[in-house]
Amino acid sequence: MRITVYLSAALLLFLGIASGAHAASFVNQSVGGNLVRGYTSNPQSIISNISNPAASAMSLKDDESFTRFGLLTNIGVGTEYGQIDNIFDVIDQKAQAFSKGLALDVPAPPADPNDPAQVDQFITELKNTVEVAVEDLNDVLAVVGQDGYAKVFANGTLPVMPISHGSRVIGGVLTLDVSGSVTSKSVTLQDPIDLDYADIQNQLLAGLTTLDLGEGTVDTVADNFTVDNDSTLVTRAASLASLSLGYSRAVFRGENGVLLAGVRGKLYRSGLARVATRLGGLTDAKKILEDILNAKFNYDNNFGIDLGLLWESRNYQAGVTVSDINEPEFSFPGMEGLEGMGYTPGTDIYNRLASKYVYTLERQFKFEAGVFTADRRWALNATYDANAIPDPFGDDYQWATVSGEYFTGSWIIPGLRAGYRANLAGEKIGYGALGLTVLKVLNIDMAMALKSVDIDNDTVPRGAMLNIGLHMPI
Question: pLDDT at residue 24 above 60?
Answer: no
Question: pLDDT at residue 459 above 50?
Answer: yes
One domain for residues 239 and 124 = no
Mean pLDDT, residues 226-247: 87
pLDDT band of 18, cuts 50, 70, 90:
very low
- Residue 473: asked if its preceding bond is cis (omega within 30°), the reply is no
Which of 185, 206, 228 is the last residue before a domain boundary?
228
Q: What is the pLDDT of residue 376?
A: 82
- Chain-centre distance of CA 296, in angstroms? 19
One domain for residues 242 and 266 = yes
Question: pLDDT at residue 8 above 70?
Answer: no
Q: Greater confidence, 61 or 113?
A: 113
The tens digit of pLDDT for each residue in 86-109 reads 777 777 777 777 778 888 888 889
62-68: which pairs have CB atoms within 8 A and are 24 or more residues apart? 63/166, 64/167, 64/168, 65/165, 65/166, 65/167, 65/168, 65/169, 66/164, 66/165, 66/166, 66/167, 67/163, 67/164, 67/165, 68/163, 68/164, 68/165, 68/472, 68/474
- Give the CA angle between residues 358, 147, 154 to the nearest 5°: 55
Question: pLDDT at residue 449 above 70?
Answer: yes
One domain for residues 261 and 118 = no
Question: pLDDT at residue 16 above 90?
Answer: no
One domain for residues 215 and 350 = no
Mean pLDDT, residues 282-304: 76
One domain for residues 74 and 101 = no
Contact 221, 209 (CB under 8 A): yes
Mean pLDDT, residues 201-205: 92
Q: Greater confidence, 60 or 115?
A: 115
Cα distances (angstroms) measured from residue 296 to each of 273, 293, 335, 398: 6, 9, 10, 31
How far is it, in rounded angstroms, from Cα 368 to Cα 312? 11
Residues 6+ apart with CB under 8 A from 56: 48, 49, 164, 166, 173, 175, 246, 248, 262
Q: What is the pLDDT of residue 14?
A: 41
One domain for residues 7 and 130 = no
Highest mean pLDDT among 21-30, 158-167, 209-218, 399-408 belongs to 399-408
Question: pLDDT at residue 266 above 90?
Answer: yes
Cα distances (angstroms) measured from residue 160 to each of 44, 71, 142, 173, 327: 17, 5, 47, 17, 29
pLDDT band of 338, cuts 50, 70, 90:
low
One domain for residues 165 and 307 = yes
pLDDT band of 19, cuts 50, 70, 90:
very low
pLDDT band of 468, cuts 50, 70, 90:
very high
Whichever domain contains 351, its CATH number is 2.40.160
Contact 451, 56 (CB under 8 A): no
Cα distances (angstroms) measured from residue 101 to each of 122, 182, 208: 21, 37, 18
One domain for residues 89 and 39 = no
Give the count of domains, the chain: 2
**Bridge partners, 260 (sequence order):** 250, 310
Which of 206, 228, 250 is the last residue before a domain boundary?
228
One domain for residues 122 and 248 = no
Which of 210, 228, 246 is the last residue before a domain boundary?
228
444 closest CA partner among 435, 453, 452: 435
Q: What is the pLDDT of residue 335?
A: 58
One domain for residues 306 and 420 = yes
What rounded mean pLDDT belongs to the chain?
Answer: 84
Question: pLDDT at residue 21 above 50?
Answer: no
The tens digit of pLDDT for each residue in 370-426 reads 999 988 889 999 999 999 999 988 899 999 999 999 988 888 999 899 999 999 998
Mean pLDDT, residues 307-328: 95
One domain for residues 17 and 163 = yes
One domain for residues 70 and 103 = no
Question: pLDDT at residue 5 above 90?
Answer: no
Q: Tell me which residue range forms the domain holding 51.
A: 2-83+148-193+229-471
- Look at the pTM and tell me if it is higher than 0.75: yes
How far is it, in rounded angstroms, from Cα 432 to Cα 445? 11
Q: What is the pLDDT of residue 50?
A: 77
Question: pLDDT at residue 231 above 60?
Answer: yes
pLDDT band of 74, cuts 50, 70, 90:
confident
